[in-house]
Structure formats: C-alpha cells, structure tokens
A and B are shown apart, each in its own frame.
Chain A
Amino acid sequence: MTAPGPPTARERRAALVARDLVVRRSSRSGCFELRVPALELLAGGALAVLGPNGAGKSTLLRSLAGLEPALAGRIERRVEEPVAMVFQRPVAFAGSVIHNLRVALSGQRLSRAEVGARVEAALDHFGIARLAERNTATLSGGELRRLALARAFALRPAVLLLDEPFDDLDAAGQEALSLDLRRAIAGTEVAVAVVTHDLRRALLLADRIAVLLDGRMAQVGEREEVLARPASVAVARLVGMANLIPGEVAAQGEGQVVVVDAQHNLPIEPAPGRAAPGFAPGTPVWAGIRPERLKLDVGRGEGVAIGKGRVRTVVSDGVAVTVGVLWAGLELRTHLLAGRGLARSIATGDTVTLSLRPEDVHLLARG
C-alpha cells in the first residue's frame, strides 16, 4: 500500500482557466497565432511551459495575465487575490527597493502594519532585506530579478506568472534563486506558471508541464507523465528524451519487442496502470528512452540487458557525466554521477552492457 501523498493535480482547484483561447500577434515577420483549447493553473501547483523560441510561451503568459487581448476564447479567474507576473526583463520603479514593494501594495487597501509586515517578509524571502534602502538604479541584474519576485510575492497573489525567471543569471545565481523561489512558493496556495527554455530549472519548480510548439499546445500533463510519455517526437526531444531509436514492433511470445536490427531489439511493456501503446506488429516506431533510465552494466539485476555497446564519448560537467554508447549503430546517451562508481573508471573504447526496464521504453509512431 502507498502512503497518502500530496494532492495530485486532479484534486487541486483551478485558480486560472483558459478555454478555447486564440491570440493573434502580427509583426514584421508575419502573423503568429497561439491556440490553447484548455489550460488550467492549479492552486498550490507549478506548471512549466516549455517550448522552443517563438513557440508562443511569453504570449501565453501575457494573455493569462490579461495583458494580451484574446481574439477568441476566455480566461476565467476563479480567485479573488491578484494575478502577478514577473517579466523576463523586470522594470524597477525609480526610488528605493522598499519603495517598489510599497507601491506594489498601494492598490490593495491594506493597513500600514500589514504593508510593513508583507514588505519585510517578501524582502526576507528573497534575501534582499539588506538592499531595502538602495536605489534601484544601482541594482545588479540578479538583484533586480529578486526585487521583481519579492514585489510580486508581496501581493500574496493567487496566480504567479514567471517569464524566464532565471534568464541572464550565472549558474550559482540560478541555483540560489530557484531554491529561494521554491521556498517562497512552498506552503502557499499560489498557482505558478513558469516559462523557461531551461528544462532542468523548470523541473526544479514544476509539478506539471505544458509543451508549446509553434503556437499549439502539444501536451499538458503531470510532470512525470510528460517526461516519460511525451506525445510526439518533437515533445520527446524538448523534454530531454535524448534516445530516440527507430525500429519496428514485433510480437515475441506473449508480448512485444521493438526490433532495431537483426542483432538488437528492445523489450517493451506498458507500465502498470498505463494503457498499452497499442502498436500492431510491423508498425514502424520510435523507441524513446530517457538517458537517466538507460543503465550501464547490469549491477543488481535491475532491468533487462539489451546487449553490449562501445563507449564513444564521455563528457563531464563536474556534476553529471554524459556517456555516449554505440549500440546498433546509434549513439545512445546515459548519465552517471560524476566522481562515483563507474563514472570514475569509464573511458572511451570500453565495452559496456546496457540495460533498461521495459516500461521505460516509450513508443512513438514513426513515418
């Protein structure tokens, strides 16, 4: 039996709902149209909006904030509290940091004491209490972003829309800010939508993922679901399913395998509770495998061996080692933690055994 966990997306109440939304923007480069049939921002949850440049992520966020007039459809606010947005390039008002927070609260009809308490809490949350009296003209990019977040949080919004909150910060700054942001969100009922092109940062915050491709909502779902079961090859690439192996479905005994070539095939098996992929034998498919699900060497009898491969590339960023292994003529990717176990000894040219769990192979139609 599993212990009762936090409420799933289905049990949460929607704070902001978009229905049949159509937003059109015309620019010199042509006309762009965003279409969102249905999207919900859930109280106490965070939705990451992923997509390549120009997919309409910022347009979506702005229309959710009510800043972009919709051609059709509607956006329903199901909450009383404000909808706050933090822009990719936040603007600070002339004056001090604390003035900026007070101004933000001026429309809220709060008592002086309440304003003071909220301002102090927000400054603390984002580690800028020491900057309270500083003129905003002297802030660095990272400090300005913290100010914008603190200003938005001081509103105690029901919905918080973040446009590339980690943009133009260095690695340490991103790390620190994403932790502060997580802490500030945790324990509140705010519904967050975060637009980012950085998948890993998005995953730090989000429990659901929406993928926008060329103005269309390609997939919306719980984070694990979208990561493990992307709806298309394009979504798979965007959510980091780096291994996409062309093959053909074939029957084997009771079940099915994906035949890659004469020597190589992949076991497949729908995970418990998930519907079978439903591909008939002979169907050409892409077999998608997330790098972190592909294992090197069969250690503790986990998974099914799929054969041997030769290590072609070993690239480390100090935290993770990305290993490229030649298997069935394809370079498959997997990750190891730097400085531990196999990562310490693996070298180009080594022969390794690859293994995976059949339910980690995700099939997508090909051709």
Chain B
Amino acid sequence: MLEITLRTLAVCGVALAVALAAGLPLGIALGRRSFPGRGVLVSLVNSGMGAPPVVVGLAVSMLLFRNGPLGFLGLLYTPEAMVAAQVLIALPLVVGITLAAVGALDENWELEVRTLGIPQWLRLWLLLREIRLGLLAAVIAALGSILSEVGAVQAVGGNLAGETRVLTTSILMYTQMGRFEMALALGAVLVGLTLVLAAALTVVQQGGRR
C-alpha cells in the first residue's frame, strides 16, 4: 500500500511540476499580452479545463500504441505515459486559472512597474506575488484533479502491479474484485492525502492575508 501511495505521489508530483512549469508562463503570457489568435487559445484552454480525463487517456493511448505515431517511444503502460496524460489534464487548469488571475490585476499595475523602472526578474516575482491566490488555486485544482483521476491513468498505465498501479486504479480494481476492505482502505488513504495537501496549500495561500 505504501508503494502504491508513493508511486501515486511521484507520478502526480512530476505531472504537477511539468504542468506548472509550462502552464504558468503560458497563463501569464495569455493574460498580459494580446496577439492574433489569443481568443482561440483562451477558449481552447477554457474547454480543456473541462475535458473528460478518460478521453484524454484514450487520445494519449492511441498516440502511444505500438503502431501509433509515437509508438516507437515504447511508453505505453509506463509511468511516463501516465505523467503525460496527467499533464494534459492539469495544464488547462493551470493556464486557465493563472490567466484569470493575471487578467484580474489592475490594468495600471504594468504601467506602475514600468515607471518605477523595476528590473525584469523582479517584475516576474512581484507578479507571482500579486497573483498568489489564483496561483495556489491553480495548484490545488490541478493536484486535486490528477490525484483523484482514474480514467486516463488506467487507459495509458494499464494498472500493472509494481509498475503503473496507483491509488485510484487499485481502488477500481479491488472494487471489481469484490475486495471492498482493500478498496476502502486505499480510498481512505487517497481522501486523507487530498485533504492534507489541500489544507497545506490553503495555509500557504491564505498566509499573507491579514
């Protein structure tokens, strides 16, 4: 059980890190700049926020099938494939919420920073500090969605014991096997994990507010 929990955390952790690394700059860019095609990108992101995970899983599987376009990578039924599917699920959430937080900034913020002659690196830090509430909301939403997601990881991971079995897929498996005591125990671990992580992030999010 510990091994499954740790694997869950590892897969979700990597996926979250990748989603944040790609999603934050994208969200900030979409929120601050205007360019042709921005509207299309924003609506794409917004619909991605509600994309059914199982369909994402199906799409990634088809890409990774041995005779699929990315089949040569041999990634199907590996943790890397699970990370890829989860990144696709989390990315729109990170981009969408970051974009909304940046958009809610005072329009004079940018001018203020420019007239004060604040160096570029510090501007980014100030911006992140400014949107930290939205930022942590994005982290909470992304982590929650990939931690509790089952369809996509099942499709691309295959729930292989010792390799790609995570909390959600094993809960599903034990339920189907009728071993409800195992399913319930793993379910409790998952819920506990979600609660603890969300609580920790909430403390960080609300910390600076007085």
Q: Which A positions have Cβ atoms within 8 angstroms of B?
A: 62, 65, 67, 82-85, 87, 89-91, 93-95, 103-104, 106-108, 135, 137-138, 151, 155
Contact = CB atoms under 8 A, between A and B. Distances in A.
Contacts of A89: 106, 108
Interface string B110-151: 011011111100100010011010000000000000000000
Given A91-B108, A91-B109, A107 B129 contact: no
Given A93-B130, A94-B208, A95-B129, A155 B116 contact: yes
A89 B106 CA distance: 10
Contacts of B108: 87, 89-91
A284 to B, nearest CB: 48
Interface residues of B, number: 19
Contacts of A104: 116, 118
Nearest to A85: B115
- Majority secondary structure of chain A interface residues (helix, strand, loop or mixed): loop
B126 A91 contact: no
A65 B115 contact: yes
Contacts, number: 54
A106 B129 contact: no
Nearest to B117: A107
Interface of B: 106, 108-109, 111-112, 114-119, 122, 126, 129-130, 132, 208-210
A48 B72 CA distance: 71
B205 to A, nearest CB: 13
A129 to B, nearest CB: 20
A106 B122 contact: yes
Given A93-B129, A103-B122, A67 B115 contact: yes
A93 B210 contact: no
Given A93-B126, A94-B132, A95-B129, A67 B111 contact: yes
A102 to B, nearest CB: 11
A84 B109 contact: no
Contacts of A107: 116-119, 122
B154 to A, nearest CB: 42
B119 A106 contact: yes
A91 B117 contact: no
Q: Which of A62, A83, A87 has the most CB of B within 10 A?
A: A87
Contacts of A155: 116-117
A83 B111 CA distance: 13
Given A93-B126, A94-B130, A135-B210, A106 B112 contact: no
Contacts of B210: 135, 138
Contacts of A103: 116, 118, 122, 126
Q: Which of B108, B116, B130, B132 has the most CB of A within 10 A?
A: B116
B168 to A, nearest CB: 37
Contacts of B209: 137
Contacts of A91: 106, 108-109, 112
B115 A94 contact: no
A62 B209 CA distance: 33
Given A91-B109, A94-B208, A83 B122 contact: no
Contacts of B119: 106-107
Contacts of A95: 129, 208
Given A87-B111, A103-B126, A135-B208, 11 more contacts: A67-B114, A83-B115, A84-B115, A85-B115, A87-B112, A103-B116, A103-B118, A104-B116, A106-B118, A108-B117, A151-B116
Nearest to A93: B126
Contact of B116 (A84, A135, A137, A138): A84
B114 A82 contact: no
Contacts of B126: 93-94, 103
